[in-house]
Amino acid sequence: MQAFAALLDALSFQPARNAKLRLIETYLSEVPDPDRGWGLAALTGGLDFPAAKPALLRGFGEDRIGPELFHLSYDYVGDLAETLALIWETDATAGPPPTLGEVVDTLQRASRSETPGILKRWLDALDATGRWALLKLLTGALRVGVSARLAKQAAANIGNQPVEAVEEIWHGLSPPYRPLFDWLLHEAPRPSSNAGGAFLPPMLANPIEQSELETLDPAHFRAEWKWDGIRVQVAASGGVKRLYSRAGEDISGAFPDIVEAIDFDGAFDGELLVRREETVAPFNDLQQRLNRKSVTPRMLKDHPAHVRLYDVLWLDGEDLRSLPFDQRRARLEAWMAQKPRQRFDVSPLVTFRDWAHLAELRAGMTSDGIEGLMLKRADSAYLAGRPKGPWFKWKRDPMLVDCVLMYAQRGHGKRSSFYSDFTFGCWREVDGRRELAPVGKAYFGFTDEELRWLDKWVRDHTTNRFGPVREVSPELILEIAFDGVARSTRHKSGVAMRFPRINRIRTDKLAAEADTVDGLLRLAASIAPDPLG
């Protein structure tokens, strides 16, 4: 446990990606089995401890120093694991600290009633950093700036393998990944890929601006709409059916309607959407289905999932990734033409004469289901990663609106000392009176210097407090960039923004000049329907 704690501590203070890679590589190379495998599982989100949830840990803190003092401390620190680790004291008589493997094995066997006593003994035995790491492990919120792909990259590096090779076998492995490390470090045979619904590493596009298009020959490229959902891979073989996110996370459980509709063997690249009566719903509707372990019959009915297919990677036992895009596209269209397939369709190509014509089509497309265009070379193979040259994404320009800052809350991790999560609103008329209504939240889009300025402004202009939330005087204008807006009955203002972020701090404007909720609603009403409808 101490080695894993040292790793998390070092990662939390290291901002550089390559330096984080080296830290994880050292841990995976030097720490023996099974602890290194459990550490890799923690970094990739592969561990869960149902009997040790945040409510239990908050109870520990309340029992230790009293509810009021604990919640004041938690509010000030901004992180549950760090707060509890600091208020706990090491007991020299508690015995040796547990290993990471001991923690995992014990908690996987322990009952809900046994878990509190076990955790308290470990907290007594560990130092402050060890307690913090244990608590981070239990909550699953490591927040050390490491993605699952970065951790897999580190594992691949210790065996001098491409990360795509690790990703292709990943879903056939389980923690603590001994066959993986035997292959990477001890020249054992490569573990077989999970033939049943294997995940294939996706091909990603590079952003491009209109000025850059002039260097490319339009005859060499095909265009598609960039649909505003989440990129997924549908994979099925040997009776196993799965739906993966772009990062390779198995999200099948949240979308049983998609899984039940799979009646084929193959792997397809596409976009997960909510679609009603031939119209793509706003992204906010899809969000109601994301990150759920199960869904209710009502949610399945009200938010029907759909996959719009971009590409075919594997079909009827044949790997098609090395074929040119045009050939893969022809195979995809021919396959879809064989019979109607519920919950699947093919994303259409966009016909254009030249870049100027395509720019006109892009500017004219205001559907909330589309966020821009994809450009793909006709001769491009499907290559894992983000190769330069074959694929580009040309997103439409963001919408801008002036909002008034209303509330602020401290962030997490490195931002736990700063007010960095901001709620903003627009004006509306209620009973002849003008008032602000919250329309969104944002926690990025600003520089570190702007964050410090905003944090001070919040502290200097606080008018009320609601637990960890500060209400501020309605004076500061924030220019908010966002990718779409839709009507929403779940939000008091009646609107939901897509991907809001702070574009500029407008100290040159007065709060009275901010936009209105009616203006946002008119924008939502002006959005065109799905062009395929």
Mean pLDDT of 323-341: 95
SS (H, E, C) 310-361: EEEEEECCEECCCCCHHHHHHHHHHHHHCCCCCCEEECCECCCCCHHHHHHH
Least Cα distance to 157 among 34, 13, 20 occurs for 20
Residue 404 has pLDDT above 50, yes or no: yes
Least Cα distance to 43 among 172, 155, 169, 183 occurs for 155
Start-to-end CA span in the chain (Å): 56
Mean pLDDT of 312-329: 94
What pLDDT is attached to residue 122? 95
Q: Which of 56-70, 96-110, 404-418, 517-531 has the lowest mean pLDDT?
A: 517-531
Cα–Cα distance for residue pair 268/307, rounded to 1 Å: 10
Percent of the chain having pLDDT more than 70? 97
**Residue with tokens 């549950």, as numbered in its chain:** 80
What pLDDT is attached to residue 498? 82
**Residue with tokens 């890679």, as numbered in its chain:** 21
Q: Which fold has domain 399-525?
A: OB fold (Dihydrolipoamide Acetyltransferase, E2P) (2.40.50)
Mean pLDDT of 395-402: 85
**Which residues touch 518 (CB under 8 Å, ≥6 apart)?**
428
Residue 96 has pLDDT above 80, yes or no: yes
Cα–Cα distance for residue pair 299/288, rounded to 1 Å: 8
What pLDDT is attached to residue 525? 62
Task: Please give the single-letter amino acid code of residue 352.
Answer: F
Bridge partners (DSSP) of residue 403 are 478
* pLDDT tens track for 213-271: 889 999 999 999 999 899 999 999 888 899 999 888 889 999 999 999 999 999 999 99
Please count the residues of the chain: 533
Judge contact between 284 and 249, C-beta under 8 A: no
The DSSP symbol for 218 reads G
Mean pLDDT of 291-304: 88
What pLDDT is attached to residue 155? 97
Least Cα distance to 138 among 12, 47, 9 occurs for 47
Helices 128-139, 100-109: inter-axial angle, 10-degree rounding: 40
What pLDDT is attached to residue 408? 95
Cα–Cα distance for residue pair 307/385, rounded to 1 Å: 22
| Residue-range domain boundaries for the chain | 2-139, 206-395, 399-525
What pLDDT is attached to residue 368? 60
Percent of the chain having pLDDT more than 90? 62
Q: Is 226 tagged catalytic?
A: yes
Catalytic residue, candidates 136, 152, 226, 376: 226
What pLDDT is attached to residue 167? 87
Q: If one looks up domain 206-395 in CATH, what number appears?
A: 3.30.470.30
Among left, alpha and beta (phi > 0; psi -120 to 50; other), residue 320 is: alpha
Q: What is the DSSP string of 67-88?
A: HHHHHHHHHHH--HHHHHHHH-
Among left, alpha and beta (phi > 0; psi -120 to 50; other), residue 228 is: beta
* pLDDT tens track for 456-484: 999 999 999 887 889 999 999 999 998 77
* pLDDT tens track for 251-262: 999 999 999 999
Least Cα distance to 202 among 171, 167, 172 occurs for 167
* pLDDT tens track for 170-191: 887 889 999 999 999 998 999 8
Identify the residue with better confidence: 276 or 397. 276
pTM for the predicted model, two decimal places: 0.72
What pLDDT is attached to residue 367? 67
Judge contact between 64 and 74, C-beta under 8 A: no
* pLDDT tens track for 71-91: 888 877 878 899 999 999 999
Q: Which fold has domain 2-139?
A: DNA ligase i, domain 1 (1.10.3260)
Residue 529 has pLDDT above 50, yes or no: no
What pLDDT is attached to residue 530? 45
3-state secondary structure at position 59: helix
Mean pLDDT of 48-71: 91
Cα–Cα distance for residue pair 298/302, rounded to 1 Å: 6
Cα atoms in the Cβ-side hemisphere of radius 13 Å centred on 202: 22
* pLDDT tens track for 12-46: 888 889 999 999 999 999 999 999 999 999 999 88
Average pLDDT of every residue of the chain: 89
